[in-house]
Structure 1
């Protein structure tokens, strides 16, 4: 009996440091990887909540922009980090799925490699031009793109984003033919419109707010325009064109390596609880309201967001199969 008691005490002594370490999580700064360029919608949204999330965590939340290859570069580098919950990914749906469905050099999958801390921004897609553009309506733009195939340059953030999906479906449903140019992130894609590199851009409503004074929205890719004050009271694309283009949007969230979720559940819960608390911070909400952005955050808890992503993955797979000539490897 004495030997058993000594053995038990020894095992408890060995386990104690590990338990204490988890109980004190986080004990050092947490790195948050954004796989897109500074100035884009993901970068802006993350910097907005950074102050409030790190206040809840009690350590610094270090933002690390790693753009490239349609977000695949930063995402792959995230998965090379130690899966100890000290590194978080700012991810975008449908990019996480489209990357591995359409790129032969990407071997990660959402189901196998990621698990969500929670959802953040929901951004519905719009078609925008400069204020002095010659097109006064989406109908005029589409007719011009049909009469001058391949001559009107239009920017999208990448070939693995929902904005490229929108470009593909718009052309498929209308017969228009744009010169669609992918950029490495939403910021560069929208800057291309301001600089005159392109004449049209497809982007998210909230991501486009910094351009609002210099641009006009021609159409909203949703069944109803619920954001008239942010979109120049533009018509819906289908309402104006009489088409059945699917609604288009992206959903942003924060993710851990799935091994963090499985191997360190206590640490994962700390990330969830602190993120949830940051979303409810009155100062954070006031900051969003001051910029007219209070409607962009559509939080979902981890499991609900996870189930939504799994369902959306099936829709994205169907889209890729329907358009193999433009979405294939």
Structure 2
């Protein structure tokens, strides 16, 4: 019996050695991935900060994984349209979502009828970046500081306006938090992405915008927008003279945006791990870190499990704020 068992094991060993590496190894699925273009859906219009970060990552991932990574902009409903498309896509790693604070942690508390559940329908891949928002106004607004802006708003209740990249976005909630903490009444003007919002703010049609740093930084440096403060608790190296809102008198204020790559929930763990490793390598590149820094973006990275914990914590944080503020969308 022992002789027969040894012979059987030996025969199996010979057979296994003849199999292709991808069939014999448990990581064969990851080794073969990707073998065709990968689509990254950005749930907002082109030109905004999420789009800028996604395109930089896509360019580098294409080199890392030797397949094109194509950015597909699917704006609308505060990011819900693009997110829903990914939630319902095949779980094969070829359709990814550039998720944001709004899409992955806020919208579920704001919208009455959600077509996806961020915690249930997505597999977190990588917490890619942390983004500071900048409070910007057009040069025509007669306020050169946060104190002057607050005084202007209190002197004309309900007449000033703030733009956002969409109802429920981080740019929206940053302004709502400002309104609550500064005690001002300002009208919300939502857009489908920050590109058109920026255009109207620069034209003076809207008073202010709490915009993600990557999309507005260039306009601030060109003098087309005036930066009054940043929403983080520390100043941006690229805008050292612009105070934080806390420094500017709104004590305790902090509101940050973040982005991360997620895949449909049933995506094989080996594919998630391969994507995570590639993204981590990209985020550590000097060129990427320098470009991020110039835009006011902080690379994060780390394992999928860390991103999962972050999403849960943010979901709880923003859920409490939205309930307390009584904000709701149809």
Same fold (TM over 0.5): yes
1:272-291: CA deviations, max 9, x gaps? Answer: 111122223344345546xx
> Is the Cα–Cα contact under 8 Å of residues 30 and 271 in structure 2 kept in the other structure?
yes
Alignment partner of 1:83 is 2:91: yes
Change (3 A) 1:147 1:294: closer
CA distance in 2 between counterparts of 1:87 and 1:295 reads: 24
Is residue 2:310 matched to residue 1:308?
yes
- The one of 246, 250, 258 equivalent to 2:257 is 250
The residue number in structure 2 matching 1:318 is 320
How much does 1:193 deviate?
0.9
Contact 1:95/1:162 (8 A) holds in 2: no
Distance between the aligned counterparts of 1:287 and 1:78, measured in 2?
28
Instruction: Measure the CA separation in 2 of the matches of 1:34 and 1:279.
Output: 18
User: What is the alpha-carbon distance in structure 1 between the residues aligned to residue 81 and residue 252 of structure 2?
Assistant: 31
Find the aligned partners of 2:177 and 2:297 in 1 and give their Cα distance.
26
Change (3 A) 1:288 1:125: closer
Q: 1: CA distance between counterparts of 2:247 and 2:278?
A: 42
Gap change, CA 1:80 and 1:40, over 3 Å in 2: same
- Determine the C-alpha separation between the residues in 1 that align with 2:289 and 2:243: 29
Deviation at 1:271, TM superposition (A): 0.9
Change (3 A) 1:296 1:23: closer
C-alpha distance in 2 between matches for 1:17 and 1:62: 32
C-alpha offsets along residues 302-325 of structure 1, whole Å, 9 cap, x if unaligned? 21121122112111111121011x
Instruction: Indicate whether 1:66 and 2:68 are aligned.
Output: no
Q: Is the 8 A contact 1:114 1:258 kept in 2?
A: yes
Give the TM-score, by structure 2 length.
Answer: 0.86
SS in 1 for 2:246: helix
Rate the CA distance shift 1:194–1:111 in 2: closer, same or farther, 3 A. Answer: same
Distance 1:247 1:265 in 2: 35
Aligned partner of 2:194 among 164, 186, 190: 186
Shift of 1:248: 0.3
The Cα offsets for residues 149-178 of structure 1, whole Å up to 9 and x where unpaired, read as: 221121111121122212222222222111
Per-residue Cα deviation, 1:92-150 (whole angstroms, up to 9, x for no partner): 01432221211122132222112222122211222111234211211111111112122
The structure 2 residue matched to 1:175, chosen from 183, 197, 219, is 183
TM-score, normalising length: structure 1: 0.86
What's the counterpart of residue 270 of structure 1? 274
Number of residue equivalences: 317
Work out whether residues 49 and 278 of structure 1, in 8 Å CA contact, stay in contact via their aligned partners in 2. yes
Corresponding residue number in structure 1 for 2:101: 93
Establish whether residue 53 from structure 1 lines up as the match of residue 38 from structure 2. no
Does the CA-based 8 Å contact 1:218-1:235 persist in structure 2? yes
CA contact (8 A) 2:87 2:265 kept: no
SS in 2 for 1:84: coil
Q: Distance in 1 between matches of 2:51 and 2:205?
A: 23
Residue 230 of structure 1: aligned partner: 239
- Shift in Å at residue 244 of structure 1? 3.9
Relative to 1, partners in 2 of residues 1:285 and 1:139: Cα closer, same or farther, differing over 3 Å? closer
SS in 2 for 1:155: strand
CA distance, structure 2, for counterparts of residue 228 and residue 133 of structure 1: 25
Distance 1:294 1:150, change over 3 A: closer
- Contact preservation (8 Å) 2:105, 2:314: no
Structure 2 gap ranges (5+): none
Residues in 2 aligned to 1:255 and 1:220: alpha-carbon distance in whole angstroms: 28
Pair 104,130 (structure 1): closer, same or farther in 2 beyond 3 Å: same
